[in-house]
Structures are given as structure tokens and as C-alpha cells.
Chain A
Amino acid sequence: MNLITEAAKALRDIGKGMAVVSRAAEKGKHTNLYPFEMPEIPPVSCQSLALIIEADGTDRCVSCLACEKVCPSQVITIERTRNPEGKGFVLERFDIDLVNCMYCAACVEACPVSAIVTIQDFELSTYDLQTLKADKAFLDEQGRRAKQWYSPKLGVEYRNEQGEIQVAPLEQQPGGEAELLKQADKESDN
């Protein structure tokens, strides 16, 4: 008798578990067929770093060394010389050791002109570690290839069809909600 009740209880409880499993099976799939289906990555996501070149071909970077100083892993190396014609500096070398970089985005936050930005390109795997010792050409190329990028000062930006750089609308920006509310307040005051 005892055995029968225990067996009945065990069957009932196993049935409960199986019910959960069958309900979950009805919900459909939750995985992506990478690399044929790419996952959707939010624009602020920090997967790699890039340098941005303006539409007219000039570097945004003004060689202020702020990023080099702030980097916790000390992987940024910048060499600059004084600009012979006029003020400012000429960038001689801009290296980031992406192997040892920990993608903390502290450099992006420190940059006063949003020249160094975070991008969503996460496919950095390579057979040769040396290719990840990124120089300026590599970082520029990353910036040219990126569909959109993020920096705290200017927010999410992207290149339009004409190659001009545009700032994404407020709805897509982090902090856009507070900003929109502020604007709505101002309008209701007027």
C-alpha cells in the first residue's frame, strides 16, 4: 500500500516536471543560428574600440593624451609632435593593445572630442595575436566600417548614406527619457 501511494506521488511529481518542459517547448526557440543570424546588439554595447574620422577626412582626435592617462590597463600608446603650421599637435602613433584592453570604456568617457568610441563589432577573434595590437590604421578602419557607435559626450552616432555623421534621435539615446521629459516640461511651461 505504502509503495503504491509513493509510486503514485512520484509519478504525479514527474508529470508536473514534464508539464513544465512541454510548456517551454511550445514557446519556440531562443537561440540564434550564428553566424547566419546575427544577434541584435544595442548601440551602446562596448565590444571594441574605434577612432572616428570626420566626413571631410580629418581626424577627430586632437592628441590630448586624456585616454592614455585614464586607461586602467595602460594599453594606449600615443606619440605626438607639435604642429609646425599653427597650434595643436600632429598624431604620430596611436596604438591600443586590444589583447590586454578590458573594454571598460574609460578612455571613451575621458575623450573630450568623442574621437575614440565604442563599437558593436564583437568578431575580433584571430589566429594571430599580433593583429590585435591595433595601430591607428586599424582603429580608423574599424571606425569607417562601424554602422553606429557610442560615446558619452555625443551619444549614439551613425553615418548616413552621404557619409556624413549624424547623431541618433533622442529616443535611442541613453538618458533620452530624462531629456525628453525636460523638453516636455519646458513646452508645458511656455
Chain B
Amino acid sequence: MSIPAALMTGPTVLEPVVGKTDEMIVNLGPQHPATHGVLQIVLGVDGERVTRAVPHIGFLHRNHEKIEESRSYAQVIPYLDRMDYVSGLQNELPYCLAVEDLAGLEVPERAKYIRTAMFEFNRIISHLVWVGTYMLDLGAITPFLYAFRDREMALDIIERTTGGRMLPNYFTFGGVRRDVHPKFWQDLLDFLDYFEKVVPEYETLTVDAPVFQARSVGVGLLSQELAVNHGISGPNLRASGVAHDLRKDQPYDAYPELDFSVITRDEGDVWARSKVRMDEIYQSIDLIRQCAELAPRSGPYLARGRVKIEAGEQRYRAAEISRGQLGVYIHSDGGTGPYRSKHRSPSFVNLQIIPDLFIGQKFSDVIAILGSIDIVLGEVDR
């Protein structure tokens, strides 16, 4: 088999382990269903052990950052949805926060709560997609059907307010684009009442199931030191015992008023990462309930104002989306749009850990580890 030498270069290529069998090169992707997008990983395997792993990205590159340079500030927002299409609403927030800071717009109280509730709601949806597709990768079809049944109901609630399901284009500078549906809060609470009873079922089928535990406990260990050194964020980092959550550390919108604690686990394996996401679903339910209780029912939802940003001003804002820290850096040259807009996307950074996690593991654990990192390729390649 001849693999171009260029495919196998990179700092992560190790000397093949000397064993009884020859090293074999296996292409995982780019059309592998477990890569959730188009990701190619060139794996070297010696018997059952992975000896090298070189991820190749860029198949979904759509040039977001360059396109944004030629758009006005408001025109950028619909493009942000398309970065991480599983949690579209969450992608809009850091950019809006950065522009609000630069333009000096004050977000009304009610808009803050709407945004926070929507943000957390999107986290539930995103984790539902994760639990469904991850279990599908591991060979369990049932959780996928249940997760997408519930995701459908959740998307309906988002659609009733924003007009979009996955690509809503809803947040804007100084608040939200349009007022919420009259039954929005009631819909949310009704859904949560139903959903709260369903999450234990997911747990029975996933983190509590002996078959899943046999495949996940002690697999793909990510040490605290390695996670911090690689800049891992989100549930992956918290499953390694680092209590880092931007909702707590750099609170934005209504998070300062909400009462919650950062979920961490110490194990750092595939099971811990799954368990943290499960617990985060419960946490999001609780946070949305708090928002529904505290949110004012009338008042402005949008602070209208002109977005005029002086030349040379720059700002970096980040938010804790379901995959980790999504940061946006904006540099203005005084024009109508960003001179440079850079996205620090969590999936891209989390993907860098793959060679370290894969090498030395069993070949059949590769998919289990890849899925537990929860990457969305649209965001990796942008």
C-alpha cells in the first residue's frame, strides 16, 4: 500500500512499535460516518494497537473569517450560525458580546434572560445530538431515536420564536432580533417538565449501561496536565478535573444572577466526559428554570443603536458553548464591518488532542475516544 509521504508527516509520527505483525496504514474518513462531517485520520496500526494518528482537516473549509471581512457587522451574524451548526444560537453570542462592548451598547434586562435561556436550551439540543450520534457510533441505535425525538420538540420551540431551526439568526447587538413567542416561557417549562423525566432514561441507556461502561471506563485517559497544555475546554476539560467554566469565570448576560456550580469529574476517561455532558443537561434544565423565574415579562428586548466602532479598536470575547470556549476577536478599522474577525473554535482546539489520546490505544477504542471529544467539523474547518 502506498500512502503519500506528505500524509504521514507531522510531529506526532512515532516509531512503529516492534511486534509480530507489520504496521498497517488505515484511513479513517474522510467519509467515515463517525467523523460527523469530513475528517480524515490516517492511522497506523500494529495488530490491535494504534501506533500513529495524523488528523487531516480542511475538507469543510468555507472561508468564514475572510467572508466576514467583507460584510458589515450585522451581516456577519447569519454566517456564525453555520460554523457549529449543531448549536447555532450559541455561536452568535460571543460575536454579539464583542461588538456590544466595542459599540457601547447596553443589553436590556429582559433580553439578557432570553439570551441566556436560549443559550442553555441550545446546549441541551447540542448534547442531545451528541448522545444520539455517539451511541450510534458505538453501535446502539435506540438512544439516537430517542434523542432526535426530543431534539425535534426542542427545535420546534426555538422555531416558534426565531423562525429558524438550526440556523436561527436570532441574537443581535443589544439584545435579540424579535420578541419571544407569547407562550415561549410556558413552552420551555412544559418541555423541561417532560424532558426531566426522560433524561434518566438516557442515563440508563448510556452512562449507566454495563455495555457502555465496559467500553468507556479507563479508555482514552486525558490527564489534567495534558488537557491544560493543549488548551482543551468545555466538558472535556472539566472531565479531567479542571473546574474551568466561562459561565462562572467570565460571566456574561444573565449568568451572574444565576445560581449554579461547575460540574467536574476526576477520572478523565471517556466515561467521565460522557457523564459530565449528562450532568450538564440537568444543569441546563435548572438554569433555564431559573431564567424563566427571574426574567421580566415585559420591557424592551432590543437596545437599538448605531454600531460605530473607532479605528484601531479591538476586542476578544468568549463564551462557554456546549463544546467549550468559543472566542471571537474583532479588530476594527473604523469601517462598517470588521477589519479582521478571528474565531477561536473549541472543536478545532479539542481536536489537537487526538494523536496523544489515540496512540497506544486499541483500534476498536478509536471511535469511542473520537466521539467522546464531541467535535463538529463545521467549526473545526470554518
Residues of A within 8 A of B (CB): 9-10, 13-14, 16-17, 20-21, 23-24, 30, 41-42, 44-46, 70, 72, 102-106, 109, 118, 150, 152, 170-178, 180-182, 185
Contacts and interface: CB of A to CB of B under 8 A. Distances in A.
Given A17-B204, A177-B183, 13 more contacts: A13-B209, A17-B205, A24-B201, A41-B159, A42-B156, A102-B78, A103-B164, A104-B78, A106-B75, A173-B182, A175-B180, A177-B182, A178-B297
Interface of B: 71, 74-79, 82, 142, 146, 149, 152, 156, 159-164, 167, 169, 177-184, 201, 204-205, 208-210, 297-299, 301
A174 B146 contact: no
B353 to A, nearest CB: 31
Nearest to B213: A13
Nearest to A184: B298
B248 to A, nearest CB: 31
A10 B214 CA distance: 11
Contacts of A9: 210
Nearest to B77: A104
Contact of B163 (A20, A21, A118, A177): A118
A174 B161 contact: yes
Chain A interface SS verdict (over half): helix
Given A10-B210, A17-B209, A30 B78 contact: no
A119 to B, nearest CB: 11
A24 B146 contact: yes
B78 A177 contact: no
29 contacts: A14-B210, A21-B142, A23-B201, A30-B149, A42-B163, A42-B181, A44-B159, A44-B160, A44-B181, A45-B160, A70-B75, A72-B71, A72-B75, A72-B76, A102-B167, A103-B164, A104-B77, A105-B163, A105-B169, A106-B75, A150-B163, A152-B177, A171-B182, A173-B182, A174-B178, A174-B180, A178-B179, A178-B298, A181-B297
B177 A109 contact: yes
B78 A106 contact: yes
Contact of A181 (B77, B79, B205, B298): B298
Contact of B160 (A13, A42, A70, A118): A42
Contacts of A178: 179, 297-299, 301
Contacts of B162: 44
